[in-house]
Copies of this chain bind each other. A is one copy, B any other.
Amino acid sequence: MIDSIVFDLDGTLYLGEKVVEGAIETIAALEAEGYRIFYLTNNSGKMRKQIVDKLNNLGFPAHSGNTYCIARGISHYLVEEEIGPIYLIGTNDLRRELMSNEIVIKEDPGVSAVVVGIDPAFSYQKIAMALDAIDGGAKLIVANGDSSYPIENNRRLPGCGALVAAIVNATGHAPDVHVGKPNTYMLELLCREHGLSPERICVVGDMPESDIRMANNFNCQSILFDPGGNFSDFSNMKARALNEIISLLKKGR
């Protein structure tokens, strides 16, 4: 029986700096019904603490235990698999979180893995370093394959997947590990750390290709949050408003 709800963040609980209508109330109501709440994001540019702080500032009862992000996932993966030193393509925030987990980051190609997250300082030189490292036998560990993400005024910015595409093209080497959605690594970690299993989990998110695909890959339930009604052909449980989630879950019980 489902007792744990895993929420996507950007596009589901908030949009940029704005809380999505009904998000705080829905989470409070779910907690009052006894559901455990988790926060899970493909954001690879921020430290876990920054994501928790943002959620708290917006009014969500998040804490470091129930919040999963790429920095947390990659840190855990590298420590668990004893991979290092690494060459990092990513933000300074991701770098700080990895270093706080005692992962050794080097600025030369003599590493056992190249780790790629979103990086506004991505450059030709970084592709060249990744190529050297991977030609020398390093693994390629990437945050996610997200091609772009929406910003204001109907514009988009390149996502981690665009940076990964350059490295894959140059090296001819596909990623060895995708830590983020739609892969299930972060959900597996969540289950291990909280004693959960797929049949107890429902994922709520706005992206069929990442949130719902991850849930399907994990064989757990999911609800597509589709406020715009853009996915009418999509044969999944769907909510046009977040406050529909409780009744959908009760029906599912």
Contacts and interface: CB of A to CB of B under 8 A. Distances in A.
Interface string A181-208: 0000000000000000000000000000
A163 interface: yes
Contacts of A122: 123-124, 127
Contacts of A147: 169-170, 172
Interface residues of A, number: 31
Contacts of A161: 169-170
A70 B27 CA distance: 58
29 contacts: A119-B124, A120-B125, A121-B123, A121-B124, A123-B123, A127-B158, A128-B157, A128-B158, A131-B156, A131-B157, A131-B158, A132-B155, A132-B156, A135-B155, A135-B156, A147-B169, A147-B170, A148-B170, A156-B170, A158-B166, A158-B170, A162-B167, A162-B169, A162-B170, A163-B166, A165-B166, A165-B168, A165-B169, A166-B169
Interface string A142-186: 000001100000011111011111111111100000000000000
Interface of A: 119-125, 127-128, 131-132, 135, 147-148, 155-159, 161-172
